[in-house]
Structure 1
């Protein structure tokens, strides 16, 4: 059993165990691992094995060996290959079996009173090589000890954390993430007749808000898998700002997708700020888009770099429709429902930098999708961070979507699709189908789906709700750019409609502060949010 502590401050001890049926392979820098594993010796070692995880940018792959395999022999065969740097067992979460990779880098932050010269002297004395001095926290580095390999990096981090001059220290741990999605009718924007049959009145009242503002002058950064920035709905001289690709190997491609599987970011961006010229309108159609491509596993240092980049390049809002692996929304026995997922210290500090230093000190407004596991988001270090706005999903019946995560950290909800409710006692108010998704942008050009070129009707989950809420924040800042992050957060709470149903039970009820575990402060009402922002501006002038 290996133990990792993420720091003295926000301390969280995570116990991990080795799974000897899982095999991690790391290639030598500059030698593509995929090519190496095509040789005859590698094929023999990995016969009947299943590829579980491929971190292309780091030349790491994880395989599940068949039960009959001799793991020791397989490792020995792979280690003999000249382009294999490491082949060994994989650490997993004890309760869920989810694999956790670790690089041989450590995130290390010294206490603030030390000078930079003192930090460098200590690193030199400890034989730690600097891989990156991070710009979003004082006295913080990613470092490497050339004699430390495998799980020894965990014991080294524990030793360093015992020092009085060290505040945070942990290995760069990579975990599988999950996009917050479940699978001409833009019912989430206005009261409308959909499919020429049903009248839906469960929107965030966005169309009415557009009569006042449409997101002019606001930049929405979306961190996601890829973006079709050539899509007609993202056209215009100031539409795309500060685009960046944080995948080292494919950086030259920019944020564009490299295959048809990378379509999640395009859909999320469309919900937030599609122009509305060709087939789908975003909540803030005149806002600019900062597309930040990030496909690395959770916890990678590039994750923190993306938040820092957004803040430094002028983002007003940051939207993230991703997070830890979740339990199945309809299976109450899934062990992932109770899995606690702590934030890497590097990511925590970068989020806090963006939230406090962004927008010239007014702070970037940061959104995360609450999650789609029908579980408590309070266990999720990303969406429950106090400087993050966690967004849940509600359906076309003005009720919580069956999969949407809940808890005390939930701030608000925004319309999205739904799944059939797992509770047989759940009775929808009408016969309108409960699986209606959101119309938004999809891949165009060479990756377009022949059935739905450039647009999709079924985007769903809190993946869709999150950029929708980010779009409402863009309308607020367009109406009143002087507002700081906390003021926007309060307006988002104040503007909400108190939706719900008598069958929701205690978690659906609103407390004396107007908060519900199922709905946060309720469903966002964009028109009311803009009206409040305008009133605040008039009060400031007066």
Structure 2
């Protein structure tokens, strides 16, 4: 089985295996192989007519299909596919043995040489290994993305591992792509202040309205790395800086809608996340830090991609103070305790880890960007998630409109804090129905977003949604509080902001939280964030 290693020499790697029923197809151009032209089938359409599409990466024209039992094999089908001019590559698919989740490789390798190596020596090693330099990484010394010859296939694992055995190589791993999971499930903004919704008094907020008497986040830039953001929405008017599409390498972060529009299809997630963090509050929804600037960074590439690392570098190099990430490895089903995905361990690749390290050490003129990650919506241990459990970031859990844990929210030692979000009733767990639909925030304008234009889902114009949630919503809320902190004390370091967040938490749910002697709960971290407490503490913080 192929083995990859995201760590240094001597650290344990992880094995992948071939799934006999999966086939990957990459188009030579466009978003996918043209099985039809309009309503007319192409000659290739019959090759995979009986197969089920299980994953797609339209930004690079890649699709993964599962073949039905007893049907022609991958080997039989790939011969015909590889002979077609429309197909760049067709072949077998590697999977995680524990979860059977597809893991795609690209024939690209990330390498970091030791800091004492010379650029000439590095390039010589690449050349002798038969690799072509693709990109010199600027966020780490002597780091490169290099490409093996097309057709190398799984031999790319052996090349990367052989390079890792060298004394002058610190990290070496293939670029591996997994499915990236979004962490989703005025008067209505109960997460910001006490309010009444549907005749029911809701008092489970993060004390943001009171914090706004001191600051509304002016002078701070919040980067939201997510899918597309509707930057033409009035709630983002006048606040967008350094927009970026990290996947397409353009300056247009607007939704691209590869899978259509509407509640289940479009690039809707990023707009809602940005709204929770820093919407202006001029039309119908305020963010936690409404006067902060917004740096929207669209990331549609898979987990572990080069684009992922580029997104963090872009944020740090272009003035982001806070970086909000409502995504990560795929979650298990929160309502299925036996789901094997609950036990899946997904490390952060060295290519991304070094980019995060760059942002947290070089960003903000050396004070470090504050990076927040969604803990996850799998009702499982966040400690298995190499992204949210990184000590360089803040992992955010979700609590509900009664001040208790949202049923889906991940738990564990890495949880740092909680922020209000939606919830779901689940009788098998004895978990009651929530009292609110979820979080009221910005939606893509018109019928393209979560709300197609219904007061049941938000407003009649379709500019706002009332049911955003998950740790996806909790994370930009916490990022907004980090922005409020930096607005009153911009000289704080990343670690000082993280410590202030810890000190600014309310100890909710004292009966169920199981706070330890250190004040930490696996469910809520150090508690639910309190915006007013945070900005007051930041004003008096000693540097």
- TM-score with structure 2 setting the length: 0.93
- Once residues 354 and 252 of structure 1 are traced to their aligned partners in structure 2, the CA distance between those partners, rounded to angstroms, is 20
Evaluate the alpha carbon distance shift between residue 9 and residue 480 of structure 1 in structure 2; reply closer, same or farther with a 3 A threshold. Answer: farther
Select which of 227, 245, 248 maps to 2:229. 227
Quick check: 447-456 or 410-419, which moved more?
Answer: 447-456
In structure 1, the partner of 2:241 is 241
In structure 2, the partner of 1:394 is 399
SS of the aligned residue for 1:295 comes to coil
In structure 2, the partner of 1:211 is 213
- Once residues 462 and 319 of structure 1 are traced to their aligned partners in structure 2, the CA distance between those partners, rounded to angstroms, is 11
Counting only pairs closer than 5 Å after superposition, residues 446-465 of structure 1 correspond to structure 2 as 447=448, 449-451=452-454, 452=459, 453-465=462-474
- Once residues 266 and 9 of structure 1 are traced to their aligned partners in structure 2, the CA distance between those partners, rounded to angstroms, is 41
Q: Aligned-pair distance for 1:115?
A: 1.2
Counting only pairs closer than 5 Å after superposition, residues 137-286 of structure 1 correspond to structure 2 as 137-146=140-149, 149-182=152-185, 184-195=187-198, 197-236=199-238, 239-248=239-248, 251=250, 253-258=252-257, 259-260=260-261, 261-286=266-291
Evaluate the alpha carbon distance shift between residue 9 and residue 211 of structure 1 in structure 2; reply closer, same or farther with a 3 A threshold. Answer: farther
Runs of at least 5 residues in structure 1 that lack an aligned partner in the other structure: none
In structure 1, the partner of 2:356 is 351
- Once residues 67 and 493 of structure 1 are traced to their aligned partners in structure 2, the CA distance between those partners, rounded to angstroms, is 52
In structure 2, the partner of 1:496 is 505
Q: Aligned-pair distance for 1:31?
A: 5.8
Deviations 1:200-253 (A, max 9, x none): 1110000000000000000000000110001111112xx00010012228x474
Q: Aligned-pair distance for 1:463?
A: 0.3
Evaluate the alpha carbon distance shift between residue 31 and residue 494 of structure 1 in structure 2; reply closer, same or farther with a 3 A threshold. Answer: closer
Evaluate the alpha carbon distance shift between residue 440 and residue 356 of structure 1 in structure 2; reply closer, same or farther with a 3 A threshold. Answer: same
In structure 2, the partner of 1:437 is 438
In structure 1, the partner of 2:16 is 16
Counting only pairs closer than 5 Å after superposition, residues 304-319 of structure 1 correspond to structure 2 as 304-319=309-324
SS of the aligned residue for 2:11 comes to coil
Q: Aligned-pair distance for 1:326?
A: 0.9
In structure 2, the partner of 1:471 is 480
RMSD: 1.8
- Once residues 106 and 37 of structure 1 are traced to their aligned partners in structure 2, the CA distance between those partners, rounded to angstroms, is 34
In structure 2, the partner of 1:48 is 50
Deviations 1:334-368 (A, max 9, x none): 00001000111100000010001000000000000
In structure 2, the partner of 1:125 is 128
- TM-score with structure 1 setting the length: 0.93
Deviations 1:53-101 (A, max 9, x none): 2212222111111223212211111011123222111001112111111
Q: Aligned-pair distance for 1:424?
A: 4.0
- Once residues 434 and 324 of structure 1 are traced to their aligned partners in structure 2, the CA distance between those partners, rounded to angstroms, is 29
SS of the aligned residue for 1:149 comes to coil
Counting only pairs closer than 5 Å after superposition, residues 509-520 of structure 1 correspond to structure 2 as 509-520=514-525
Higher helix proportion: 1
Deviations 1:282-311 (A, max 9, x none): 000000000000011101100000000000
Deviations 1:245-296 (A, max 9, x none): 12228x4744344452111000000000011110001000000000000011
Deviations 1:447-482 (A, max 9, x none): 252224110000010000000000000000001111
- Do the aligned residues in 1 keep the contact of 2:9 with 2:164 (CA within 8 Å)? no
Runs of at least 5 residues in structure 2 that lack an aligned partner in the other structure: none
Evaluate the alpha carbon distance shift between residue 412 and residue 32 of structure 1 in structure 2; reply closer, same or farther with a 3 A threshold. Answer: closer
SS of the aligned residue for 1:189 comes to coil
Evaluate the alpha carbon distance shift between residue 533 and residue 489 of structure 1 in structure 2; reply closer, same or farther with a 3 A threshold. Answer: same
The number of residues matched between the two structures is 524
Q: Aligned-pair distance for 1:422?
A: 5.7
